[in-house]
Amino acid sequence: MFSVSREIDFCYGHRLLDYQGKCRHLHGHNGKVLITIEASGLDEQGMVLDFADIKHVVHRWIDENLDHRMILHRDDPVVAALKEAGEPMCLLEGNPTAENIAKLIFDFAVAQGYPVVEVRFWETPGCFATYCREDTDRGGAEPPPGGGKAPGRAR
Q: How far apart are the first and last CA of the chain?
A: 34
2-43+50-132 classified as CATH 3.30.479.10: yes
d(CA 52, CA 92): 28
Among this protein's residues, is 23 annotated catalytic?
yes
pLDDT tens sequence across 102-135? 999 999 999 999 999 999 999 999 999 999 998 7
Q: What does the pLDDT look like over 126-147, one tens digit per residue?
A: 999 999 998 765 444 444 344 4
141 vs 11: which has the higher pLDDT: 11
Computed over every residue of the chain, the mean pLDDT equals 90
Question: What secondary structure does DSSP assign to 89-107, as a single string?
Answer: EEEESS---HHHHHHHHHH
The strand ranges marked E within 74-146 are 89-92, 116-124, 127-132
Domain residues of the chain, as ranges? 2-43+50-132
pLDDT of residue 137: 54
Catalytically annotated residue among 23, 29, 73, 132: 23
| Beta bridge partners of residue 90, listed in sequence order | 71
Backbone angles phi, psi at 85, to 5 degrees: -80, -5
Do the bridges between strand 69-73 and strand 2-14 make them parallel or antiparallel, or are there none, so unpaired? Answer: parallel
Say whether 123 is catalytic.
yes
68 is catalytic: yes
Question: What's the pTM value of the predicted model, to 2 decimals?
Answer: 0.86
